[in-house]
Amino acid sequence: MGSGDATVLFDLDGVLVDSAETIRLGLTAWARARGAVLLQVTSDRGREDAHRFYERLGHTTSHPGFKEWLT
């Protein structure tokens, strides 16, 4: 992709593992239909069960995140 090309990204946040697989499958299809090239899942560092779940689905760990609450 060139520097002038737009890339559609999709960020998934705040999903409980119990419902994640069903939601992820639907959101994956929705995002792909809209041209997304990436589905990113945000998960708290301490949610080890969730991390294992997403790794089993083929997700890879990419980086830690940072937040600053402004309220």
The residues, ordered by sequence, that sit 6+ positions from 27 with a Cβ below 8 Å of its Cβ are 10, 12, 39
pTM attached to this predicted model: 0.59
Instruction: Please state, in angstroms and rounded to a whole number, the distance separating the CA atoms of residues 60 and 30.
Output: 21
Q: What is the pLDDT of residue 49?
A: 86
Averages of pLDDT over runs of 10 residues in the chain (71 residues) are 61 64 74 82 84 85 84 80
